[in-house]
């Protein structure tokens, strides 16, 4: 068996996503620990800075499957391409990001390669030559420690949790471009409907979220203003999405998005388990809630147990002063 | 057309869980089991589709005897037939998918609905795995679904918006909240479901590709620091975020 770890990296509109760097960096780290060669694969049309990114993160080779028809995701074509390449190079490990695309693509690829698949890992470590994964289960109430038996192993890693480290030994990555003439478009994305221009919670470094404690949709102005001074995104609990105050795209939690920003500010959110499932791996959590016994305080780093209508405007003002 | 819905029986997310004596599974005593919430959208969409195109809906679940309750619930909502593939304590999605695939093939179903995620092991992959095993098309995390003849147009949730996806039957669709409003079982439905037979058979034994080493309860985070109870705490909070956490 060839000793290769394949980093499957993602582009949108020709730009590499930040999680692509996390995937490459994780592949490189495991490659060093396990004595493997790290290779990256990216599918798309024109992709900016692929070779430079690979070089930065210590990937020795990057393969770009190019087609103007594959700028958007196509589950059938992407699965065909990655699994064929995985077979060709006899990849032993494949790493994807646990994004909407990665979570869709990784299991399909795993079937084609007769591989086991572990999803949404928050930690991968090498123990005596085996990769052990940690992943939250039961809405984060338990952590599963697991491994994959079998020759080929597929993992997806939770975005924003794995560190990116630039490689010490900068060797220029070899970039190979393969044109794809006739992709299998049996299932294909024909359009992408973007939620208008706003920063998405899944991609933000700072999130300010509001819950039922805001009392009404008009009061989300407070959340929006705080998010704006911090350069962050607006998030919401399911209660306020169900009530029609906010769009589902902003929902954080099991039914919404899983986020790991560096700062998560929960305002008027009680901290139900399904909400925590989506944000408990955030680096720093701040809770503002008038009920000092609200479960959100159990996972918050800092809290203010008071009235959000008084605290949020003061916080916005204070941050505006220092910016 | 025969439509399949796959449903799983899961601990209510609100119940406390304890790790069992083997260290690898959860203690089932004292846990309330419910139908996986995302599977209710799958059942609803299957029933709606059947109402338009005609045909039958078969509910398939792999699990222990307790899963019969979950199948019964789907029958009460209006599904026609139930199949229980009996197997205890199965966590490996690949094994589950292989057994489901076999039954879907035996039942000759061209359209299959599953939930996007089971709220036990939160894998989010059984639909995609099963589709790939069967050679079916698959669209995951669907919030809008349309079937015209053989052609499917669906919308799936992605970061920052939705993708509009096209494919054809045979296909597996995994469902997300927002797709529909699951109906309640009517009294008539509940009565009728009692007469419907649930076929039971052992799930074929498959070799698992993943192995749980152990389950642990995450150590409770150090309880956060409550800095204050009113706006006078704000300047201290900002200082901590800048100087200690260094996040702003
Ligand atoms: C299958 C399933 C999936 C789910 N998925 C999700 C999910 O993805 N995301 C999610 O969020 N939920 C989800 N839920 C719902 C979840 O269980 C809770 O119902 C929800 O998170 C509660 O939202 P909330 O915190 O805004 O409201 P509440 O629980 O009502 O909390 C409101 C909080 O505001 C505080 N408050 C009130 N007034 C003030 C004030 N003036 N100042 C400060 N604080 C104030 C209160 O003390 C309270 O703690 C799911 C549930 C199920 C069953
Ligand atoms: N044991 C099972 N029996 C039937 N369907 C299942 C089972 N496990 C998972 N599924 C289906 O697959 C979906 C996704 O589950 P999972 O991949 O485990 O998160 C669920 O919503 C169900 O529709």
Domain boundaries, chain B: 2-202
Interchain proximity B122–A142, CB inside 8 Å: no
Contacts of B155 in chain A (CB under 8 A): 193
The yes/no answer on whether domain B2-202 falls in CATH 3.50.50.60 is no
Half-sphere exposure of B85 (CA within 13 A, CB side): 25
Best A10, A107, A307, A311 residue to mutate vs chain B (most B CBs within 10 Å): A107
Q: Which residues pair with B162 in a beta bridge?
A: A193, B157
Half-sphere exposure of A119 (CA within 13 A, CB side): 27
For A235, phi then psi, to 5°, come to -120, 170
> SS3 of A309, please?
helix
Burial of B183 (0-12, 13-18, 19+ CB in 10 A): middle
Ranges assigned E (strand) in A105-249: 116-121, 123-127, 130-137, 142-148, 153-157, 174-179, 188-194, 206-210, 233-236
Q: Which ligand is nearest to the CA of A277?
A: 1
Averaged pLDDT in 10-residue chunks for chain A of 323 residues = 88 95 98 96 96 96 97 97 98 98 98 97 96 96 96 97 90 96 96 86 96 98 97 98 95 96 98 96 97 96 98 98 89
Residues A14, A3: Cα–Cα separation, whole Å: 30
pLDDT of residue B88: 87
Residues B135, A103: Cα–Cα separation, whole Å: 18
Nearest residue in chain A measured CA to CA from B126: A107
Model-level pTM?
Answer: 0.94
pLDDT of residue B191: 95
> SS3 of A197, please?
coil
- Length of chain A as a residue count: 323
Q: Are B72 and B82 in contact (CB under 8 A)?
A: yes
Residues A175, A52: Cα–Cα separation, whole Å: 10
Domain boundaries A206-322, corresponding CATH code: 3.40.50.1220
Residue with tokens 């869980």, as numbered in its chain: B17
Architecture of domain A4-179: 3-Layer(aba) Sandwich (3.40)
The Cα of A112 is separated from the nearest Cα of chain B by a number of Å equal to 8
B150 touching A (Cβ < 8 Å)? no
B174 touching A (Cβ < 8 Å)? no
pLDDT of residue A61: 97
Q: What interface predicted TM-score (ipTM) does this complex get?
A: 0.94
pLDDT of residue B91: 85
Question: Is any ligand 2 atom within 6 A of the Cβ of residue B124?
Answer: yes
In angstroms, the Cα distances linking A197 to A19, A227, A298 are 20, 15, 34
pLDDT of residue B221: 75
Buried b (16+ CB within 10 A) or exposed e, B30-39: eeebbbbbbb
pLDDT of residue B28: 87
pLDDT of residue A1: 47
DSSP annotation of B130: H
Handedness of CA A185, A191, A193, A197 (dihedral sign): positive
What is the domain partition of chain A in residue ranges?
4-179, 206-322
The Cα of B223 is separated from the nearest Cα of chain A by a number of Å equal to 5
Q: Are A121 and B178 in contact (CB under 8 A)?
A: no
The Cα of B136 is separated from the nearest Cα of chain A by a number of Å equal to 10
Residues A237, A219: Cα–Cα separation, whole Å: 14
Interchain proximity A192–B163, CB inside 8 Å: yes
Instruction: Considering only the beta carbons, identify the residue of A103, A144, A277 that sits closest to B124.
Output: A103
Q: Which residues of chain B have pLDDT under 70?
A: none
Residues B17, B34: Cα–Cα separation, whole Å: 14
Interchain proximity B233–A274, CB inside 8 Å: no
Going by alpha carbons, the residue nearest to atom 11 of ligand 1 is A237
DSSP for B55-79, written as a single string: -EEEEEEEESTTHHHHHHHHHHHT-
The C-alpha torsion from B235 through B245 and A134 to A266, rounded to 10°, is: 20
**Residue-wise pLDDT tens digits, B102-145:** 999 999 999 999 999 999 999 999 999 999 999 999 999 999 99
Six-digit token string for A4: 């290769």
């Amino acid at each position: 068996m060839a000793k290769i770890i394949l980093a499957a990296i993602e582009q949108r509109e020709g730009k590499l996503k930040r999680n692509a760097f996390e995937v490459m960096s994780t592949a490189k780290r495991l490659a060093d620990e396990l004595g493997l060669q790290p290779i990256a694969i990216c599918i798309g049309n024109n992709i900016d800075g692929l070779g430079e990114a690979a070089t930065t993160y210590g990937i020795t080779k990057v393969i770009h499957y190019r087609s103007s028809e594959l700028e958007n995701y196509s589950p059938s074509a992407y699965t065909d391409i990655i699994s064929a390449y995985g077979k060709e190079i006899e990849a032993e490990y494949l790493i994807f990001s646990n994004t909407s695309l990665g979570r869709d693509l990784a299991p399909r690829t795993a079937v084609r390669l007769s591989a086991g698949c572990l999803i949404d890992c928050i930690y991968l470590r090498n123990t005596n030559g085996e990769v052990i994964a940690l992943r939250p289960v039961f809405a984060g109430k338990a952590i599963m420690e697991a491994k994959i038996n079998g020759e080929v192993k597929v993992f997806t890693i939770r975005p924003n949790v794995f560190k990116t480290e630039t490689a010490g030994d900068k060797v220029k990555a070899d970039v190979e471009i393969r044109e794809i003439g006739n992709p299998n478009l049996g299932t294909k994305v024909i359009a992408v409907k973007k939620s208008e221009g706003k920063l998405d919670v899944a991609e933000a470094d700072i999130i300010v979220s509001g819950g039922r404690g805001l009392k009404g949709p008009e009061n989300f102005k407070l959340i929006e203003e705080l998010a704006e001074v911090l350069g962050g995104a607006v998030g919401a609990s399911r209660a306020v999405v169900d009530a029609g105050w906010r769009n589902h795209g902003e929902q954080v939690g099991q039914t919404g998005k899983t986020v790991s920003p560096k700062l998560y500010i929960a305002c008027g959110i009680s901290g139900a388990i399904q909400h925590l499932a989506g944000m408990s791996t955030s680096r720093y959590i701040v809770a503002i809630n008038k009920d000092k016994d609200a479960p959100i305080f159990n996972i918050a780093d800092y809290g203010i147990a008071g009235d959000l209508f008084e605290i949020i405007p003061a916080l916005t003002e204070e941050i505006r002063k220092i910016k | 057309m025969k439509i399949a819905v796959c449903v799983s029986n899961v601990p209510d997310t609100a119940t406390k869980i304890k790790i069992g004596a083997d260290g690898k599974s959860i203690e089932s005593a004292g846990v309330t089991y419910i139908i996986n919430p995302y599977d209710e959208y799958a059942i609803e969409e299957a029933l709606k589709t059947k109402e338009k195109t005609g045909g039958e809906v078969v509910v398939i679940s792999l699990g222990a005897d307790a899963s019969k309750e979950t199948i019964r619930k789907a029958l009460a909502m209006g599904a026609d037939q139930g199949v229980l593939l009996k197997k205890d304590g199965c966590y490996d999605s690949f094994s589950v998918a292989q057994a489901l695939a076999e039954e879907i093939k035996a039942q000759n179903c061209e359209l299959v609905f599953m939930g996007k995620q089971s709220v036990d092991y939160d894998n989010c992959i059984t639909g995609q795995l099963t589709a790939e095993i069967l050679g079916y098309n698959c669209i995951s995390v669907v919030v809008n679904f349309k079937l015209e003849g053989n052609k499917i147009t669906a919308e799936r949730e992605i970061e920052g918006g939705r993708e509009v996806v096209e494919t054809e039957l045979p296909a597996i669709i995994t469902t997300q909240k927002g797709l529909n409003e699951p109906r309640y079982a009517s009294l008539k439905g509940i009565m009728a479901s009692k007469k419907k037979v649930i076929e039971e058979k052992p799930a074929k034994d498959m070799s698992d590709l993943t192995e749980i080493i152990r389950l642990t309860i995450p150590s409770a985070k150090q309880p956060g620091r409550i800095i204050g109870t009113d706006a006078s705490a704000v300047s201290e909070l900002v200082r901590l975020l800048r100087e200690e956490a260094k996040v702003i």
